[in-house]
Structure 1
Amino acid sequence: MDLDFTEKDEAFREEVRAFLKDKLPARLSDKVRQGQHLSKADMEEWHAILNDRGWLAPHWPEERGGTNWSVVQSFIFETETALAHAPRIVPFGVSMLGPVLNKFGTEEQKNYWLPRILDGSDWWCQGYSEPGAGSDLASLKTSAVREGDHYIVNGQKTWTTLAQYANKIFCLVRTSKEGKKQEGISFLLIDMDTPGLEVRPIKLLDGDHEVNEVWFSDVKVPVENLVGEENKGWTCAKYLLSYERTNIAGVGSSMAAFERLKEVARTTRRGDAALMEDPLFAARMAEIEIDLENMRTTNLRVLDSVGRGQTPMAESSMLKIRGTEIRQKITALMRRAAGRYAQPFLEEALESGFNGEPVGPDWAAPVASQYFNYRKLSIFGGSNEVQREIIGKSMMGL
């Protein structure tokens, strides 16, 4: 695979930059750059802008609304949007369910659900993790019993990101207890307005309502909402997780965050010298920069495999491990750069329109929030310890 950018790629980069300059609202990029909370309306606005341009789902087939971009073009787009501080597209519909439907869905499911993902009619959330079934996802217990032309779903999902905004949820459910635990799992699409479904908020350390519990009590789901074969949902789950882990790695976001860190290190002083001139701090930054370049190459390889219809489980696991570790290192260095201003934390300072007195420099306001919030990155989407097991089994035969 050629990793060099061609003249065509460079022309595409300029096209993306021009689009971002013209179409990315400054108030959205300012909120992202300052680490402020994005509202549902903010996320929907950027979703609609990209959909109107035809750039919302680059990894979908072209006939379904994809872009037919090359691997390098997809990478350029992700990187440039991150560097421009554009909001990240909510991944559950576009980047997770969409690929699953394109590969495993019936024509009827594709024709109905895919356009609704693109035009924003449906906001999806992910029903995977359960109490006692997070990294060991195959241990899930939420049950779906078929009764005529419906499944009756009972159980609980947890850590369900942005479920408070969603009108749909895709779920892994247990439809059989026979055989290995992976063999009795099915993949269902469920309407959040169905009687018996309840969403309960979980507040995080920074006070943000990002995740939730979702409870199912005799929830009726039409049989036609089954994706793939009954009891074969683990195949869909593994395919989806390769996309999720690549998204969690956040190569473009890490590059943008590192550029921000360099800016802070150049302008923040410790005594008579800039922080960038501190040998230990500079060495830590150099280590991150080297890791970022290595991760960039791995990301291109994963995108290339996906583009050729493969499911790069080991490679996406590598990307997830390194990507989450790098993002945690960047937030740790930002915390060091903030010094004493990293200790105070004002939740309201992360809301648009905050008029109070800043605690330290403007860039320090989200440092504590991001540092603590990003501790989760190496856990969700399959903990990094589990990713190492996947790598060992698939590449070393362990």
Structure 2
Amino acid sequence: MEILILLIVAVVLLFAVKEIRRSLISRPMFSFFKRVLPPLSNTEREAMTAGDVWWDAELFSGRPDWHNFHKTKPPQFSEDEQAFIDNQLEQLLAMLDDFKIVQQDRDLPKKVWDFIRKEKFFAMIIGKEFGGLDFSPAANSYIVSRIATRSISAAVTVMVPNSLGPGELLTHYGTDEQKNYWLPRLADGTDIPCFALTAPEAGSDAGAIPDTGIVCKGEHDGKEVVGIRLNWDKRYITLAPVATVLGLAFKLYDPEGLMGDKEDLGITCALIPTDHPGVETGERHFPLNQAFMNGTTYGKDVFIPLDWIIGGKDYAGKGWRMLMECLSAGRGISLPALATATGHVAQRMTGAYAYVRQQFGLPIGKFEGVQEAMGRIGGYNYSIESMRRLTVAALCEGKSPSVITAMTKYHMTEMGRQVIEDAMDIHAGKGIQLGPKNYLGHGYMATPVSITVEGANILTRNLMIFGQGATRCHPYVLKEMDAAANSDEEQGLRDFDELLIKHIGFAASNFFGSLWMGLTGARFNASPISGPTARYYQHLTRMSRALALTADVAMLILGGDLKRKEMLSARLGDVLSHLYMASAVLKRYEDDGRQNGDMAYVDYAVQRHLFEIGEAFRGFFANFPNRFIAWTLRLAIFPLGIHYEAPNDELLQDIADDMMVPGVTRDRHTFLCYWKDDPKDMTGHMELAFVGMKQHEDVYKRLQKAEKRGEIPPDLAGDALIKAARKADVITADEAKSLKKVEQLRLTAIAVDQFAPGSLEKKKFASS
């Protein structure tokens, strides 16, 4: 007993007496932390600290405040935004013929370009004081998503000026002179912008940009001024072939000291008219059979004045941070909007096609193999739309959560890829024969575009989500890094000491909390609501605590090596991402008023996200290099085993059946999908056939029974079917009349386009 008391007293003294603690614990840990601290380049540090943290930090803390989370207001439109959506947006959608745009003209028609410019589709993010629309992220996301359901080429054309580009950079950082000159011209369509960042060997690694600017003296407007002599070679630049003003990112150097005593000033952004001497643009790329303008820009020894730097000369060298801060918001809107469009179109059209297309006397949507793919489409689309709404809600509150937008871009585009592949599998030949009747083909081909742009998904998953999230979202790590980097080592040690005690308490709480939740199945965790989803909140809180513990241990054991263990860190990023996605699903369910028709979709989505969390932890423990630590972590977090399972077959079938029922639930889940009441429209013919067949469901069942009894011959369709049924007195004259229209729609809906010999040949085009 005396020994135990002495041990307790020793531990208390060790931690309670500041000088003893600093000498025996904090100082050695401080030295260790500085040693294992992952080295950060300037660009990495600026990227790391760009943007905000939001719900991601709550999830990473292990203690998510669900009540506060539910206070987040769902995105809503202003009166001006709703009027634009009801009028100008609908007018634009009716003008788009995507087959003609992509396969014949490889460009938007002039009337569409004129309409987009006149109605300020390029000016959604520009303030009203400069003639822009000043729309919210919610309206921006909705408009781009809905256009993308009609034409990816048109959507990309609209989204780029409203994402990372001159308009946003000028709004946030431009001088008054720059704003007053350029923003009205961008708003009314006088100028079309593009932004050039990517070089042949410098995509996501902006630190490797080879494009340079040298501060020197030169002639501008007939006068000798201090300016920049630029050399650049950029590619993959959307709108470059038609742009009249070029935003350019480059490395700036001042070897003569004309701007100060620093030679390497860093990445800088400038705005240059494309008709300026030496600027070359216009050579197009051909991005996977899409018609949006994308191409190259280059220049050699192009001289510009210093005041063409965005923000003026005071912003020389601040370009990377400017880009990161703006990109963190744009990444959460534009490319996710394309994925959302894919989900809405795939669910609505596949549900219709699976009912209209019949085999062996049954809709193909009744076969279990097809139902499995349909269930994924519906379940994934519910997550996609939920994630879009939650991320947009954060942006509407003025947040710029860089980790969340990275998760949104990566997972929404990856889910969009799965959804379009499943839709193509179900449509089979209908999906691969291009023509005016094909509403999937161009979206399928465009999927890799959104996956690749603004950071390829491999990079986003393996480096950004956890690499940035672990530092930004952790309650102590970034502060500890700042303390370790303090040039005043004693002050750094004092700061580190205060943080270390809190961090130790945080880690201990997470360890014992995880063990308790594992042993009790998290049944004692609080839930913000009651009802069928309450249990999901308990599980998500448990996995949040598990992530906090595992990330802490991984960073402690591996230190800077964790940055290079991309497969390990990506798995922890997956845990954070699926926690966020499951949160989004539950939030949407609450915001929508707990619709009974959504329950199968909610169950599928959350169960899948929990299963993926379990798989990520399983992979992490199996591959963590310190086997004892891996075993200890698994025992603490999952003392009774990892029991999260993938959604069962019944849920898949429930979703598949629901997708083949017209009505409120289907409309709510696919509200972004554009179609018009016209059998000649690429989506209208399928929609009208589907609704018509559902209205005649009893008649078709009667025909099937008559066929089985031998009263009418098998495998008849159209007029032949109606004639035989009428002759056998299976249907009435009125039924025959209405069924004739439905059969015409049905046969048109399952038909594919065909072209006369010679009609598809095009003029040859050369690649330079």
Instruction: Name the TM tier (shorter chain).
Output: 0.7 to 0.9
Specify the code of the residue in structure 2 equivalent to 1:392: F
Which TM-score applies when normalising by structure 2? 0.43
Are 1:194 and 2:271 counterparts? Answer: no
Counterpart check, 1:221 vs 2:221 = no
Q: Is the 8 A contact 1:201 1:209 kept in 2?
A: no
How far off is 1:187 after superposition? 0.7
Answer yes or no: is 1:47 the counterpart of 2:116.
yes
- 1:382 correspondence with 2:455: yes
Cα-to-partner distance string for 1:288-308 (whole Å, 9 max, x where unaligned): 333333333333333343334
One of 341, 344, 349 as aligned partner of 1:253: 341
Match of 2:176? 107
> CA 1:273–1:152 in structure 2 vs 1: closer, same or farther (change >3 Å)?
farther
Kept in 1: contact 2:331–2:454 (CA 8 A): yes
User: Per-residue CA shift, 1:147-192, capped at 9, x if unaligned?
Assistant: 23332111211112232111222111011499xxx97100111222
- Give distance in 1, aligned partners of 2:151 and 2:386: 22
Task: Tell me whether 111-120 or 209-218 shows the greater mean CA deviation.
Answer: 209-218
The 5 Å alignment of 1:98-177 reads 98-148=167-217, 149-176=226-253
CA contact 2:93–2:150 (8 Å) conserved in 1: no
Letter in 2 for 1:203: F
**Partner of 1:378: helix, strand, or coil?**
helix
Would the alpha carbon gap of residues 272 and 189 (structure 1) be closer, same or farther in structure 2, given more than 3 Å must change? farther
Partner of 1:355: none
2-structure distance, mates of 1:317, 1:39: 30
Contact 1:298 1:315 (C-alpha < 8 Å) held by counterparts: no
Which of 236, 240, 248 is residue 322 of structure 2 equivalent to?
A: 236
Contact 2:95/2:112, CA 8 A, preserved across alignment? no
Measure the CA separation in 2 of the matches of 1:154 and 1:239.
25
Deviation at 1:376, TM superposition (A): 3.0
Q: How far 1:324 moved relative to its partner?
A: 1.3
8 Å Cα contact 2:252/2:267 also seen in 1: yes
Structure that is richer in strand per residue: 1
- Structure 1 position 330, deviation (Å): 3.2
- Distance between the aligned counterparts of 1:272 and 1:183, measured in 2? 72
Amino acid at match of 1:238: M
CA offsets per residue over residues 88-117 of structure 1, 9 Å max, x none?
252333333322211111111111111111
Aligned 8 A contact 2:280 2:297 in 1: yes
Say yes or no: does 1:396 pair with 2:470: yes
8 Å CA contact 1:150–1:221 kept in 2: the answer is: yes
Does the 8 Å contact 2:230/2:301 carry over to 1? yes
| Equivalent position amino acid for 2:243 in 1 | A
Q: Which residue of 1 aligns with 2:444?
A: 371
Instruction: List per-residue Cα deviations over 1:204-259 (Å, max 9, x = no partner).
Output: 44385743222211122232221131111001111232244221111552344233
Deviates more, 1:308-317 or 1:201-210: 201-210
Distance 1:12 1:213, change over 3 A: closer
* Distance 1:145-1:370 versus aligned 2 partners, 3 A rule: same
Larger Rg belongs to = 2
Q: Tell me how far apart the structure 1 counterparts of residues 100 and 415 of structure 2 sit (CA, whole Å).
A: 19
Counterpart Cα distance in 1 of 2:207 and 2:249: 9
2:237 partner SS: coil
How large is the Cα RMSD of the aligned pairs?
3.6
Equivalence for 1:357: none
CA distance in 2, matches of 1:12, 1:116: 21
Asked if 1:31 corresponds to 2:98, the answer is yes
Match of 2:41? none
For residues 375 and 101 of structure 2, the distance between their equivalents in structure 1, rounded to whole angstroms, comes to 24
Q: 2:372 matched to 1:283?
A: yes
Question: 1:378 Cα deviation (Å)?
Answer: 1.6
Greater helix content: 2
Query: 8 Å contact 1:33–1:85 — kept in the other structure?
Result: no
Tell me by how many angstroms 1:380 deviates: 1.7
Contact 1:244 1:381 (8 Å CA) reproduced: no
* Cα offsets for 1:330-379 (capped at 9, x unmatched): 3323432342455566xxx57xxxxxxxxxxx226x61x44333223222
For residue 342 of structure 2, what is the amino acid of its counterpart? S
Are the equivalent residues in 2 in contact too, given 1:85–1:256 (CA < 8 A)? no
**Counterpart residue identity of residue 31, structure 1:** D
| Pairing of 1:339-358 with structure 2 (within 5 A) | 339-340=428-429, 342=431, 349=435
Question: Residue type of the partner of 2:370?
Answer: F
Once residues 365 and 102 of structure 2 are traced to their aligned partners in structure 1, the CA distance between those partners, rounded to angstroms, is 22
Distance in 2, matches of 1:144 and 1:211, equals 24
Scaled by the length of structure 1, the TM-score of the pair is 0.79
Distance across 1 between alignment mates of 2:357 and 2:101: 17
Cα distance in 2 for partners of 1:63, 1:296 equals 32
Number of residues of Structure 1 aligned to a counterpart in Structure 2: 373
**What aligned pairs does 1:201-212 form with structure 2 within 5 A after superposition?**
201-206=284-289, 210-212=293-295
Aligned-partner Cα distance in 2 for 1:91–1:207: 15
Identical residues among aligned pairs (%): 20
Relative distance call for 1:143 and 1:337 in structure 2 (3 A) is same
* Structure 1 unmatched runs, 5+: 351-361
Over 3 Å counting, the alpha-carbon distance change for 1:10 and 1:176 in structure 2 is closer
Aligned counterparts of 1:74 and 1:226: Cα–Cα separation in 2: 27
1:354 corresponding residue in structure 2: none
Q: Return closer, same or farther for 1:154/1:77 CA change in 2, 3 Å cut-off.
A: closer
1:106-145 deviation line (CA, Å, top 9, x unaligned) = 1111111111111111111221111111122331111111
Cα distance in 1 for partners of 2:293, 2:151 equals 20
Query: In the aligned structure 1, how far is the partner of 2:148 from the partner of 2:270?
Result: 32
For 2:582, the equivalent position in structure 1 comes to none
Partner of 2:415: 326
